[in-house]
Amino acid sequence: MNSEQLKRQVAEAALQYINDYDMVIGIGTGSTVNHFIDLLPNVKNRIEAVVSSSEVSTKKLISHGFNVKELNQTGDLSLYIDGADECDGHNRLIKGGGGALTREKIIAAASNQFICIVDESKCVDVLGKFPLPIEVLPMARSFVARQMVKLGGQPIYREGFTTDNGNQIIDIHNLKILNPVDLETKINQIPGVVTNGLFAHRSADVTLIAQSNGNLQTQ
């Protein structure tokens, strides 16, 4: 199966978690989630509303006729479905390749169950091969970058990109993240950091992994 087929397969598998009526669910961002959004009309009768993690996903959800609500209107969510850029064997993730990490982290934290959908190319033993995104307030960009050099990373400014929150992203290369929980905390303590793309404190509850041989693994 090619990469798009794998994304479609794992997105389809996530539909089984929409197993109740009147559900209000969180929806992530990215090409894997785009497949999930395209499949969501199949279970529309079970969904009362959705909370979206980005303007891009919101547009797509509205085009399919879903009621998109603000998290402030809903309270905690029963379910959040999202992709990831990297996943380790403990369901700890790197996210933010699409730049939506802050809203994604908020929705994940506000959800009782977080189902992550990936293909096997995203699975790693140690996180860090994928550059770790950090959302920063624009005035703090260079300061945060210098702190990340001290932590052993190589920061690259994501030029020409502004997040949905009006901020900037720096991508940190060359990290070998042996303790993701500690690093997530450490980076978030740097003044000017909005959040970083490590999802270790609030990891996924379940990761669905589409394998190139056509099998689906649940971790």
Catalytic (active-site) positions: 104
Query: Among 77, 100, 140, 175, which residue interacts with ligand 5RP (rule: CB under 6 A)?
Result: 100
When asked if residue 98 is in the footprint of ligand 5RP (CB under 6 A), the reply is yes
Gap between the Cα atoms of 136 and 212, Å rounded: 36
Nearest distance, CB of residue 126 and ligand 5RP, angstroms: 18
The DSSP element (H or E) to which 79 belongs, if any, is: strand 79-82
When asked if residue 82 is in the footprint of ligand 5RP (CB under 6 A), the reply is yes
When asked if residue 128 is in the footprint of ligand 5RP (CB under 6 A), the reply is no
Name the strands in the sheet holding 206-210, side by side, starting at the edge strand that comes first in the sequence.
47-52, 23-27, 79-82, 114-119, 206-210, 216-218
Q: Return the axis-axis angle of helices 3-14 and 31-39, rounded to nearest 10°.
A: 50
Of 27-56, binders to ligand 5RP (CB under 6 A) are: 28-32
* Closer Cβ to ligand 5RP, 66 or 199, answer by number: 199
Nearest distance, CB of residue 182 and ligand 5RP, angstroms: 21
Gap between the Cα atoms of 56 and 60, Å rounded: 6
The residue ranges that bind ligand 5RP (CB under 6 A) are: 28-32, 82-85, 95-101, 104
